[in-house]
Amino acid sequence: MAIERTLSIIKPDAVAKNVVGKIYQRFEDAGLKIIAAKQVWLSEREAGEFYAVHKERPFFKDLVAFMVSGPVFVQVLEGDDAIAKNRELMGATDPKKAAPGTIRADFAESIDANAVHGSDAPETAAVEVAFFFPGLNVYSR
Ligand code: RTP
Ligand code: MG
């Protein structure tokens, strides 16, 4: 399996719930290394740019409003099959449909306030990592 990097965001609801450490523990227990991390409070412009693929979707406005409602923690996870592994740890987008034991099943309230974001493919992971950590390849090792 390939060593990959993926972008993870702990969204405002989970930060407000004070479960950042519990979520980090799940990444580490699954063998994913947190190779970069920072807390940021996104502007509307940044959140809109980050989720630009969803610009035409009916939920876009609510999504952006939610993502700027408080600070988030952004991290790069590295490990074998990191993109799929992180998506598995996260669970389904709607926490009501998320498998038991996943982050969203355990910590999320609704499809809007769903605790975490994770890149969904190698192409989006590369773009999203560069969006938040432009110097990463230079400085991480
Ligand atoms: P994310 O991008 O945040 O990791 O979530 P995801 O891949 O599981 O879901 P995605 O389809 O990319 O949607 C991005 C975020 O938009 C909100 N959403 N709301 N009301 C709705 O039908 C709806 N669908 C999506 C969710 O907060 C989702 O995380
Ligand atoms: Mg997505």
Interval 6-58: pLDDT, tens: 999 999 999 999 999 999 999 999 999 999 999 999 999 999 999 999 999 99
- Give the domain CATH number at 88: 3.30.70.141
Which ipTM was obtained for this model? 0.94
Residue 88 burial (CB count, 10 A): 14
**What is the extent of the structural domain holding 10?**
3-137
Of all protein residues, whose CA lies closest to atom 17 belonging to ligand 1?
A: 112
Residue in 68, 82, 117, 132 annotated catalytic: 117
pTM above 0.90, yes or no: yes
- Which of these, 89, 80, 99, lies nearest to 10 by C-alpha position? 89
Instruction: Please enumerate in sequence order all residues whose Cβ is within 8 A of that of 65, keeping only pairs 6 or more positions apart, or say none.
Output: none
Number of domains in the chain: 1
**What are the residues whose beta carbons fall under 8 Å from the beta carbon of 33, sequence distance 6 or more?**
77, 78, 79
Structure tokens at 83: 């993109």
Name the closest-CA residue to atom 21, ligand 1.
59
For residue 86 and ligand 1, the question of a CB distance below 6 A is answered with no
Amino acid, res. 89 = L
Residue 93 CA to ligand 1 centre (angstroms):
6
Residue 117 among the catalytic residues: yes
